């Protein structure tokens, strides 16, 4: 640009001088003079060009590139209109072009020197900061990616087509988002929002719509919470409605699961909807050389989402007892969820994550009945050093839980006995991402519910299950999964033994900007 301006100015000056000289009618001599003058002019321009180029090279060597830094750009991008009004008005202006230049080969090297600067690679437009600092509050919210929005908004639709030899699929499956009936189910249509609230907080919300077996719409505020971003010493505080940090499956949403349904132990101990509720949580990353984090949460634990805790049960009955369904009497009625997790890399391609969790609170089957759940979890993952799209990989995940449940005599003290159940269960699953977009999985489940001569609740049946599935992810925004389950139900004092075969075809899509998932 500068070069052009100088050349043009030089031309203008020459032309002015030329115009002022007397020019009588043309004669052969005059033509010759003219020719010589034009030739001289051309030489001058060439010399000037060379001079400008040399000066620029020296400048480039001495100082940073023009436009190498955002701060320097205004000078390089748009020079003011030339004051001396050159005869040639610029007919192009790179600074007004918003989009990238066409990837055409740059000008051929001059005098054998390869250009070492290129003003077209830098931009003068300010990059919009993702923190939102300095952004106008009156600007409209645009719903698009590109880091130019105030929040991520996405919709996730998950559906399944199911067949089972058991007519009561809703009882056989332990999760509320699992296939619920023979035929089609739509149990997880999820609107997810997240973004920075201000420089101090970020906010998340997951609103789940689901269709029941009569195709009526149900809505559930699965999560809605804010958490700090700016606390010192590795601390973070969260408040709102959220999934308790217990084990691997509980804090995650069903669309991230590796199988179409919930594990038996999670569904029967932490509940078909997972352990979640309104509360607060603090976490601390321990300043040691490996990854180590303590998490401690306090929640109401009331209702069906506090399944083993202050859960009034269906029609006011839980495990055969008439429940109390009371207001919190004191601190003993909240659910306390501590967790400690640690992770190390065994090698550049292998990672292990291990955690211990607990959940402690009271339950509604008696005046002073309490529940304790303990869990351990282990995750091992291998990923190829030449992974494409995240494949191939092997992921092995296991969780075991033990629950001590004090079942009282009910609100009316009429239940014949008070019992303490010692229940335990576990699952172990291995997922093999064998080629880009394809995974195969195998899962084993076991659930041991202590026998009782007084409780005929079908949820207290001991059982086991093997599952196999194959999933195709056309991209990370869609998936199609085929899964087979074989269930073994064990006989107890009230319920007969049984077996069931089930087949699920699950399909899912995600629209919009969906927040990235944790490890």
Partner 1 sequence: MKKIKLLCGSGALFAALLLSAQAKINVVATLPDYGSIAREIGGANAEVTVLAKPTEDPHFVDARPSFVVKLRQADVLIDGGAELEIGWLPPLLQNARNPKVEAGQPGRVEASEGIRLMEVPAQLTRAAGDVHAMGNPHFMVDPIIAKAVAQHIANAFAAVDPAHAADYQANEKKFEATINAKLQEWGAKLLPYRGQSLVAYHDSWVYFAHRFGFNVNIFLEPKPGIPPSPSHLAEVIAQMKAQKIKAIIVEPYHNRKIAEKVAESTGAKVVDFAQFPGALPDTDTYVKLIDALVNRLAAALK
Give the shortest CB-471-to-partner 1 separation in angstroms. 16
Shorter beta-carbon distance to partner 1: residue 31 or 286: 286
Pick 38 or 143: Cβ nearer partner 1: 143
Residue 223 vs 273, nearer CB to partner 1: 223
Closest CB to partner 1 among 393 and 488? 393
Cβ neighbours, 10 Å, residue 32:
10
Minimal distance in Å, beta carbon 479 to partner 1?
14
| Distance in Å, CB of 294 to partner 1, minimum | 13
SS (H, E, C) 51-104: HHHHHHHHHHHHCCCCCCCHHHHHHHHCCCCCCCCCCCCCCCCHHHCCCCCCCC
What is the per-residue DSSP string for 249-297?
TTTS-GGG-SSSS--HHHHHHT-TT-SEEEEEEEEEE--SSSEEEEEEE
User: CB of residue 115 vs partner 1: minimum separation in angstroms?
Assistant: 8
Q: Quick one: 250 or 371, whose CB is closer to partner 1?
A: 250
CB of 157 to partner 1, least distance (A): 15
Q: Which residues contact 89 (CB under 8 A, 6 or more apart)?
A: none
Select 94 or 217, whichever has its Cβ closest to partner 1.
Answer: 94
CA pair distance 150, 191, nearest whole angstrom: 16
Distance CA 173, CA 518 (A): 26
Query: Minimum Å distance from CB 129 to partner 1?
Result: 5
Distance CA 78, CA 73 (A): 9
Name which of 80 and 109 has its Cβ closer to partner 1.
Answer: 109
- Other beta carbons within 10 Å of 162: 23
Query: What's the CA gap between 328 and 319, in Å, rounded?
Result: 21
In 3D space, the residue among 188, 196, 35 whose CA is nearest the CA of residue 129 turns out to be 196
SS3 475: strand
Between 28 and 287, whose beta carbon lies closer to partner 1?
Answer: 287
Q: Which is nearer to partner 1, 163 or 200 (CB)?
A: 200
Return the number of the residue (215 or 347) whose C-beta is nearest partner 1. Answer: 347
CB of 399 to partner 1, least distance (A): 17
- CB of 111: closest distance to partner 1 in angstroms? 11
What's the closest the beta carbon of residue 145 comes to partner 1, in angstroms? 4
Closest approach of partner 1 to the CB of residue 141, in Å: 15
DSSP per residue over 480-492, as a string? EEEEEEEEEE---
Which is nearest to 241 in space by CA: 198, 293, 281? 281
Task: Answer whether 202's CB lies under 8 Å from 224's CB.
Answer: no
Distances from the Cα of 103 to the Cαs of 98, 335, 337, in angstroms? 15, 61, 56
| CA separation for the pair 114, 296 (Å, rounded) | 61
Least separation, in Å, of the C-beta of 385 and partner 1?
5
Shorter beta-carbon distance to partner 1: residue 37 or 343:
343
Cβ(77)–Cβ(94) under 8 Å?
A: yes
Min CB(352)–partner 1 separation in Å: 10
Q: Name the DSSP letter for residue 165.
A: S
- Contact predicate 94/125, CB 8 Å: no
Residue 61 vs 329, nearer CB to partner 1: 61
Decide: 487 and 499 in contact? Cβ < 8 Å: yes
| Cβ within 8 Å of residue 203, ≥6 positions away | 151, 193, 194, 195, 196, 197, 225, 226, 227
Closer of 147 and 183 to partner 1 (Cβ): 147
Cβ 69 to partner 1, closest distance in Å? 6
Q: Is 45 exposed, middle or buried (0-12, 13-18, 19+ CB in 10 A)?
A: middle
């Amino acid at each position: 640009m500068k070069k052009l301006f100088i050349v043009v100015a030089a031309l203008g000056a020459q032309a002015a001088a030329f115009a002022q000289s007397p020019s009588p009618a043309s004669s052969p001599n005059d033509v010759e003079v003219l020719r010589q003058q034009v030739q001289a002019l051309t030489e001058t321009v060439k010399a000037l060009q060379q001079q400008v180029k040399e000066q620029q090279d020296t400048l480039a060597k001495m100082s940073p590139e023009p436009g190498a830094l955002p701060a320097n750009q205004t000078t390089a991008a748009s020079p003011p209109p030339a004051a001396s009004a050159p005869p040639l008005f610029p007919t192009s202006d790179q600074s007004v072009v918003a989009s990238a230049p066409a990837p055409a080969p740059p000008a051929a090297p001059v005098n054998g020197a390869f250009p070492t600067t290129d003003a077209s690679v830098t931009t003068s437009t300010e990059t919009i900061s993702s923190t939102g600092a300095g952004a106008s509050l009156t600007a409209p919210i645009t719903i698009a990616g590109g880091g130019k929005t105030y929040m991520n908004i996405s919709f996730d639709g998950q559906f399944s087509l199911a067949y089972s030899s058991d007519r009561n699929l809703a009882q056989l499956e332990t999760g509320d988002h699992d296939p619920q009936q023979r035929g089609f189910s739509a149990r997880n249509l999820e609107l997810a929002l997240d973004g920075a609230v201000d420089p101090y907080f970020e906010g998340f919300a997951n609103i789940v719509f689901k269709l029941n077996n009569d195709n009526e719409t149900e809505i559930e505020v699965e999560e809605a919470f804010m958490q700090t971003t700016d606390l010192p010493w590795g601390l973070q505080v969260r408040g709102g409605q959220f999934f308790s940090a217990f084990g691997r499956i509980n804090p995650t949403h069903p669309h991230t699961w590796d199988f179409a349904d919930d594990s038996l132990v999670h569904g029967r101990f932490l509940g078909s909807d997972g352990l979640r509720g309104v509360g607060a949580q603090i976490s601390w990353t321990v300043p040691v050389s490996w990854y180590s984090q303590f998490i401690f949460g306090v929640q109401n634990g009331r209702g069906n989402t506090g399944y083993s805790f202050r859960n009034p049960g269906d029609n006011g009955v839980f495990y055969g007892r008439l429940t109390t369904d009371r207001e919190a009497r004191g601190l003993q009625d909240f659910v306390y969820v501590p967790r400690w997790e640690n992770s190390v890399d065994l090698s550049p391609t292998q990672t292990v994550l291990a955690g211990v969790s607990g959940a402690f609170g009271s339950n509604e089957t008696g005046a002073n009945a309490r529940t304790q759940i303990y869990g351990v979890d282990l995750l091992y993952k291998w990923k190829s050093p030449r992974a494409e799209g995240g494949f191939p990989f092997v992921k092995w995940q296991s969780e075991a839980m033990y629950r001590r449940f004090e079942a009282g005599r009910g609100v009316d003290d009429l239940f014949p006995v008070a019992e303490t159940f010692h229940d335990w269960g576990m699952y172990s699953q291995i997922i093999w991402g064998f080629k880009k977009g394809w995974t195969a999985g195998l899962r084993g489940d076991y659930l041991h519910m202590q026998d009782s001569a007084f409780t005929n609740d079908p949820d207290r049946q001991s059982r086991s299950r093997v599952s196999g599935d194959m999933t195709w992810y056309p991209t990370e925004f869609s998936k199609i999964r085929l899964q087979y389950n074989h269930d073994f139900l064990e006989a107890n004092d009230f319920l007969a033994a049984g077996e069931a075969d089930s087949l699920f075809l699950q399909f899912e899509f995600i629209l919009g900007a969906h927040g990235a998932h944790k490890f």
